[in-house]
Amino acid sequence: MSNEPTPSGLASGETLERAEALLEVTYELLELEDLELLRQVLNKERPADLADLMRRLDEGIRETVFGLLEESLAAEALAESDTHTTLSIVEDMAPQRLSDILDEMEPDDAADVLVDLDREDAEKVLDLMETEGAQEVQDLMAHEEDTGGGIMTSDLISVREEMTVAGAIDRLRQEAEDQDISHLYVTDAEGRPVGVVPVHRLATARPQTPMSRLMSRDLVTVTQETDQEEIARIFSRYNLLAVPVVDMEGRLVGQITVDDVVDVIQEEATEDIYKMAGTSDQEMENPSVFGVARARLPWLLICLLGSFLSGAVIHVFDATLEKVIILASFLPAITATGGNSGLQSSTVTVRGLVTGHVSSGLVLRTIMREIGTAAVIGVACGAAANAAAWLWFKHPLVGICVGVAMFLAISVAVVLGVLVPLLFDRLGIDPAVASGPFITTTNDILGIFIYLGLATVLMGRFM
């Protein structure tokens, strides 16, 4: 449970509406130039709401507004901000103010801010920070951002097995002033975690009981190198509130708490969704027109190249098309339906690999199911297309070509949609990125080839 001040005591309901309202009030007070009232309003808000406000404000005035916040609140708001917003706020901030704010932050959050600055600027700020904190922050900055080391915090309480409840409560009094501690870690002589004691057991146990009697020995640990996606999977699988992080020698060096993992899960989901649509979350880091275009163009150009291959296949059949031009009217139906059914099965497969619903042990079952699905969908769409072609042009041969080609195109698309992501996954290539263009292009080419090839053969025989 967080300890933040709140304007209303009891807030509920629409977070987004609150955000809109705060934005309006801020602009109004800025217009009235009543900075004193704005300062009072803002310093009563929650850090997360302030972070959101910063993101919504025009970049030019973020610094002014942020300058009105008290240090500790500024620190918490900054910890909640995304990379792009954070950078726009701190880039031109005086090093002394920034170091004061970072002193107030948890070391992992402070490391996240500094890691995005120029090396030189970051060192200047680190020099101004309190020595002990600066060292912790510097250690954390050494880790990759999306690993256990990158998202862990060094804030935790660890005790030895022999320590008594009375001793542990003393430790708690000294160290837990302004943070909420729900558990203590128990370590052995080498500093390796051997158990965990939920604090409620301290409250109810006798003062002389040693930790070894109270602790639960069931520990899931991760290392500094563990990928954050795997960490999210562990939290969600085992319903954890925190996991200890150990170094190469198995010694306790930090912990990851579930609130950070919630953010990781949201982030990873967004990243996956962006990748599947052929762009990347770089868009959010650099939301300028050119930043967005840079994220999207590679995929578009690869697909454009692929579509020229489809065009080449059409060119091969120019003679057939010229003879029966109405065949051209069904090209969009073949490519669109093939493309869409490929998108469906590849999306389900890629997502299944992330959530663990598809894995090597289940490959055969997954493939068999998709083949069955392809048959059902192919027959349904093929029949619909056949009927449409027949009703429209009263041309039975075109109807047969469209129907059969659609069935085959869908079957190929659906099966490729399962196989290609699984193959890429096994090769160690991210299926979310790689499978999209590959499946779309292959699909279009094969679908068109089947359709026009079939038409050429049938027309040659019967017309």
Nearer to a second copy, 117 or 389 (CB): 389
List b or e across 179-207, with b for residues whose CB sees 16 or more CB atoms inside 10 angstroms.
eeeebbbbbeeeeebbbbbebebbeebee
Q: Which of 67, 372, 396, 460 binds a second copy (CB under 8 A)?
A: 372
DSSP character at residue 157: -
CB 144 → a second copy: shortest distance, Å?
A: 17
| Beta carbon of residue 349, minimum distance to a second copy (angstroms, whole number) | 11
Site for a second copy in 121-180 (CB under 8 A): 169, 172-173, 176, 180
270 near a second copy, judged by CB under 8 A: yes
Q: Which helix (H) or strand (E) holds 242?
A: strand 242-246
* Identity of the residue, 125 or 215, whose beta carbon is nearer to a second copy in the bound complex: 215
Q: Can you say whether the dihedral through the CA atoms of 109, 110, 116, 119 is positive or negative?
A: negative
Q: Which of 107, 210, 278, 399 touches a second copy (CB under 8 A)?
A: 278
Nearest to 38 by CA among 27, 54, 48, 49: 27
Using CB under 8 A, pick the residue from 37, 94, 269, 429 that binds a second copy.
269
Nearest to 79 by CA among 309, 217, 260, 344: 260
Going across the sheet that includes 158-160, the strands are 158-160, 183-187, 193-198
Q: Is 143 helix (H, G, I), strand (E, B) or coil?
A: coil
Least distance to a second copy from the beta carbon of 96, Å?
28
* Residue 99 or 310 with smaller CB distance to a second copy: 310
**For a second copy, how many residues bind (rule: CB under 8 A)?**
144
Residue 301 binds to a second copy (criterion: CB under 8 A) = yes
- 25 touches a second copy by CB under 8 A: no
- Judged by CB under 8 A, the stretch of 36-44, 121-129, 338-346, 421-429 that binds a second copy is 338-346
CB of 257 to a second copy, least distance (A): 9
Binder to a second copy among 32, 94, 142, 312 (CB under 8 A)? 312
- For a second copy, the binding residue among 105, 276, 397, 419 (CB under 8 A) is 276
With CB under 8 A as the contact rule, the residue among 41, 331, 454, 459 that binds a second copy is: 331
Q: Does 189 bind a second copy (CB under 8 A)?
A: no
- The answer to whether 52 touches 82, Cβ cutoff 8 Å, is no
Q: Give the chain's length.
A: 463
Any contact of residue 65 with a second copy (CB under 8 A)? no
Cβ distance to a second copy smaller for residue 47 or 133: 47
List binders of a second copy among 192-221 (CB under 8 A): 196, 198-200, 202-204, 216-221
In 10 A of CB 241, how many CB atoms?
12
Among 214, 381, 416, 419, binds a second copy (CB under 8 A): 381
Q: Which residue number, 111 or 196, has a Cβ lying nearer to a second copy?
A: 196
Work out which of 87, 307, 454, 459 binds a second copy, going by CB under 8 A: 307
Find the part of the chain contacting a second copy (CB under 8 A) among 36-44, 66-74, 137-145, 369-377: 369-377
Cβ count within 10 A of residue 364: 9
* Burial bucket for residue 36 (CB in 10 Å: 0-12, 13-18, 19+): exposed
Residue 159 near residue 172, CB atoms below 8 Å: no
Binders of a second copy among residues 398 to 457 (CB under 8 A) are: 440, 444, 448
Whose structure tokens read 């090597």?
360
Q: Does 258 sit near a second copy (CB under 8 A)?
A: yes
**Could you tell me which residues come within 8 angstroms of residue 155 by beta carbon, excluding any fewer than 6 positions away?**
106, 107, 179, 255
Partner residues linked to 254 by β-bridges: 245
Other Cβ atoms within 10 Å of 349 Cβ, number: 24
345 in Cβ contact with 301 (< 8 Å): no
- Residue 196 belongs to what H/E stretch? strand 193-198
CB contact at 8 A, 158 and 176: no
Taking the least distance from each CB to a second copy, the nearer of 273 and 458 is: 273
Asked if 107 is part of the footprint of a second copy (rule: CB under 8 A), the reply reads no
Query: Does the footprint of a second copy cover residue 386 (CB under 8 A)?
Result: no
Mark the segment that binds a second copy (CB under 8 A) among 30-38, 88-96, 133-141, 287-295. 287-295
**β-bridge mates for residue 223, sequence order:** 246
CB closer to a second copy, 141 vs 333: 333
